Amino acid sequence: MNLFAVAAPPAGGAPLGQVIGATVAGLLLTAALLVIGMRYRAGRTKMLETLAAPFTWLLRVPAWAALPVALATGSLVLAGAGFYWDVAVHIDRGRDPGPFGTPAHYPILLGLFGIFAAGWLALVMARGTEAGRTGVRLSSTWTVPTSGLVMMACGGFALMGFPLDDVWHSIFGQDVTLWGPTHLIMLTGGQLMIPTILGLLLEGRAAAGVATPTGTAAHPGRAARWGARAIALSGAGGVLAGLTIYQAEFGFGVPQYNLLFQPALLAFTATLALVFGRAVTGRGGALGAAAFNIVVSGGFVLFVGPLAGETTPHFSTYIPAAICVEVAALIVSPRRIAAFAALAGVLVGTVGTLGEWAWTHVWMPIPWPAHFVPSAIAVGLAAALCGAAVGAFVSSSLAPGRLSLVGARRWVPGAAGAVGFAAILAVCLPTHAPVGASGTVVLDRLAGGRASATVSFHPVSVVSSPDYVQQLSWQGHTKSIVSMLRRIRPGVYRTVTPLPLSGSWKSLIRTQQGRVRGDVPVYLPADPAIPVAGIPDRSTVTRAVISDTTLMQRERKRGVAGWLWTTATSVVMAIIAVLLAIIGWGLNRVAGALTGNPPRDRRDLALGDGRRRRLGRGRARVAAAGAGR
C-alpha cells in the first residue's frame, strides 16, 4: 500500500486550530460590524455616509441602498472569482487540509461576509421610516428595507455553508465536487441573491421618490434613464454569470454527474436571465446581458487560468439563446410577460440548445455527439420552460408596474419553475456503472513517466454510442489534462495526449452512455489519509469498469449509514429551499408593496422618472388597472 503513497493532506474535517481561529475571526468581524452600525444609528459616526456618498450620487438612491448595493456587488464578484479559483485548485491539486488550507477560500469567505455585511448596513442605515414603503417594521422607530433583510439572510446562510461543510467532511469525508450539498449552500447564498441586490435598488428608488434626509430623488432625463438601463442590464448579465458558476464542472471538463445536466443548466440559466434582461431593459437587453456575461465570465477565466496558473475553465456565450429571446420579443411583447417568457423558453430550449451543441464543438471540453442532441433538446426544453417561469417572476417583481402579472399571484410561477427544475435534475441524477464490463489498457511508455494508452472495452456495447470517452489526468499539482479519446474501431479507443503516471497524478479513462457512467483506472497513487491503496500503471492490464464516483471522490467515506446520508442531504436541501423561498419572498414583497401604491409612485428597475413621465398618464392608468387585477 505504501509503495505508491505520496504526501497527502488530511481528509476529514478541519484541524481544531483552524476552526477556533475561524470562530474567533468571525466573531470579531461581526462584532466590529455591529459596533459600526450601532454608532451610526446613535449619530456618533459619519463614516458610512462618507463611504456611501459616491454610490449615492452614481445610483441616485439613498445611502442605505447605495452603499449595500455597491458592497454586495463587489463581494459577489470577489466570491465568484474565489469559487472558480477554488474549483480549479481542487481539480489541479486535490483536496485541501481545511477551510484555510487554500488561498482560494479567502476571497470566498470575504465575499460571503461582504454580502452579510451589506445586508446589515442596509438595515442600520435606513433611519425611521425611510424604507417604509417597501420595508419591514422592526420597531416603532425602525423600518428596514426588505431586500436588506434578505441580503443578510443570504450572506448568513452562505457563511453557514463553511462550518456545515466541515461537519460534512468529518462525517462523510471530503466530496471533491462543486455539487456537494454544503457547497450548494455557499453557491446559492452567494450567486442567487443578485436579484435581491436589484430589489434593494428598487426599494431605494421608491424611497427616493419622496424627500429623504439621506438620499436624492431619481433625476429625470436621458442620462438617468440610460444609467438605470445599464444597471438593469448588468443585473441580468450578473444573474447569467452567477448561475453559470453551477456549470463549472462541465466548463473544466470534469463533470461528476449526468451530461444531461449541462443542457438543462444552460437552458434554465439562459431563459431565466435573458427573459429578465429583455423584459426589464428593452430591445437588445438579452444580447446586452449575454455580452455582460462574456465580460464577467471572461474575467474569471483570465484570473483562474493565466493569472492564478490553474486549469482554464470554459463557459457558454449564451448568444444563441439571447438571439432566441430577442426574436421572441419581436413576436410577443415582453409586457405580456407570461406569453413572452413561454415563447422564449420554447425557442431557447430547442434552437438555443442546438446553438449550444455547436458551441461545445468550438470551445468546450466535452463536445456533445449528434445522438445526444435529441435528449439535450428534450431536457433543455423542459428546463427552459422552468427558467421562463422563474424569469417571468423575477421580471414582474423588478418592473412591477410595467409588466403584467403571471396569474393571480406573482410568486406561483417562480415557485413552480424552481420546483420543476429541481425535479428535472432529480430525474437526470441517477446513473450507475456498467455491470460486468471491463477495459483492457495497453500502455506505450514515453519519456518523463508518461504513456499513451489504448483501451479496449468488453463488451463493446458499453461504448457502442457513448456520450463521451474521456481521458482525465488530474490533481498532479499542475494543470490537469482533459481530452476526448480517439476511436480506433468499435470498442477500442486511444489517448490523444500522454497520460502522466507518477506522483500525485490520477489518470483514468471515463465514459458515459445514457445513464451508464463508468471509469477504467490507469494510475492512482495510494492515499494513507483516506486510506486507499494505489492502483499501479501496468503495461497491459484488464480492469473492471467501476463507478465514476468511486474514483473521482476517493475521499468519500464508505460504509456510512444510508439513513445518515439521506437525513443530512435532506437537511441541507431544506436549507437551500428555505434560502430560495426567502429570496422569492423578498422580491414578491417589494413588488407587492410598490404595486399597491398609486401609479404616480411606481418605480421600475429600468425606468427613471423621466421615462415614466413619457409613458403618460393614460398608460400609467392602464398599468395600474392591470396591476390591480
Partner 1 sequence: MTGLYACASHLLVDLPLFGGPVLFVIAAVLLISRSERRRAAQDNAQAVGSLR
Q: Write out the residues near partner 1 by the rule CB under 8 A.
A: 12-13, 16, 19-20, 22-23, 26-27, 30-31, 34, 37-38, 41-42, 116, 120, 123-124, 138-142, 152, 156, 159-160, 162-164, 166-167, 170-172, 557, 560-561, 564
**DSSP letter string, 294-319:** HHHHHHHHHIIIIIT-SPPP-----H
- Shortest distance (Å) from residue 554 CB to partner 1: 18
Nearer to partner 1, 159 or 328 (CB): 159
**DSSP letter string, 238-268:** HHHHHHHGGGHHHHHT---S-TTHHHHHHHH
Nearer to partner 1, 34 or 58 (CB): 34
Report the sign of the C-alpha dihedral through residues 409, 415, 420, 423, in that order.
negative
- Shortest distance (Å) from residue 141 CB to partner 1: 4
Nearer to partner 1, 136 or 224 (CB): 136
- Shortest distance (Å) from residue 447 CB to partner 1: 45
Instruction: For residue 114, give the nearest of 79, 66, 149 by alpha carbon.
Output: 79
Would you give the distance in Å from CA 434 to the centre of its chain? 31
Q: Give the Cα separation of 236 and 286 in Å (integer).
A: 8
Residue 443 · residue 430 · CB < 8 Å:
no
- Shortest distance (Å) from residue 115 CB to partner 1: 13
Q: Give the Cα separation of 94 and 174 in Å (integer).
A: 10
- Shortest distance (Å) from residue 572 CB to partner 1: 13
Nearer to partner 1, 120 or 315 (CB): 120
Q: Give the Cα separation of 465 and 487 in Å (integer).
A: 11
Q: Give the Cα separation of 480 and 474 in Å (integer).
A: 5
Supply the DSSP symbol for 498.
Answer: P
Residue 218 · residue 208 · CB < 8 Å:
yes
Supply the DSSP symbol for 461.
Answer: G
Residue 522 · residue 508 · CB < 8 Å:
yes
- Shortest distance (Å) from residue 61 CB to partner 1: 23
- Shortest distance (Å) from residue 170 CB to partner 1: 4
Nearer to partner 1, 139 or 540 (CB): 139
All 3 cell numbers of residue 421?
427544475
Nearer to partner 1, 321 or 575 (CB): 575
Provide CB contacts within 8 A for 174, sequence distance 6+.
11, 12, 95, 555, 556
Nearer to partner 1, 52 or 185 (CB): 185
Q: Give the Cα separation of 107 and 97 in Å (integer).
A: 17
Nearer to partner 1, 210 or 564 (CB): 564
Amino acid 228 reads: A
- Shortest distance (Å) from residue 322 CB to partner 1: 39
- Shortest distance (Å) from residue 75 CB to partner 1: 16
Respond yes or no on whether the N-terminal peptide bond of residue 459 is cis (omega within 30° of 0). Answer: yes
- Shortest distance (Å) from residue 239 CB to partner 1: 27
**DSSP letter string, 108-151:** HHHHHHHHHHHHHHHHHHS-BTTTTTT-EEEETTEEE-HHHHHH
Nearer to partner 1, 16 or 362 (CB): 16
Helix (H) or strand (E) holding 155: helix 146-172
Nearer to partner 1, 97 or 227 (CB): 97
Amino acid 74 reads: G
> For helices 353-363 and 319-331, what crossing angle results, to 10°?
160
All 3 cell numbers of residue 479?
494543470
Task: Count other C-beta atoms under 10 Å from residue 107's C-beta.
Answer: 22
Residue 215 · residue 603 · CB < 8 Å:
no
Residue the block writes with cell 501496468: 538
Nearer to partner 1, 113 or 252 (CB): 113
All 3 cell numbers of residue 214?
439621506
- With b for 16 or more beta-carbon neighbours within 10 A and e for fewer, the 248-282 pattern comes to bbbbbbbbbbbbbbbbbbbbbbbbbbbbbbbbbbb
- Shortest distance (Å) from residue 201 CB to partner 1: 23
- Shortest distance (Å) from residue 152 CB to partner 1: 7
Nearer to partner 1, 12 or 253 (CB): 12
Nearer to partner 1, 370 or 561 (CB): 561
Residue 405 · residue 629 · CB < 8 Å:
yes
- Shortest distance (Å) from residue 153 CB to partner 1: 10
Nearer to partner 1, 156 or 209 (CB): 156
Residue 231 · residue 103 · CB < 8 Å:
no
Q: Give the Cα separation of 398 and 604 in Å (integer).
A: 6
All 3 cell numbers of residue 352?
438555443
- Shortest distance (Å) from residue 370 CB to partner 1: 45
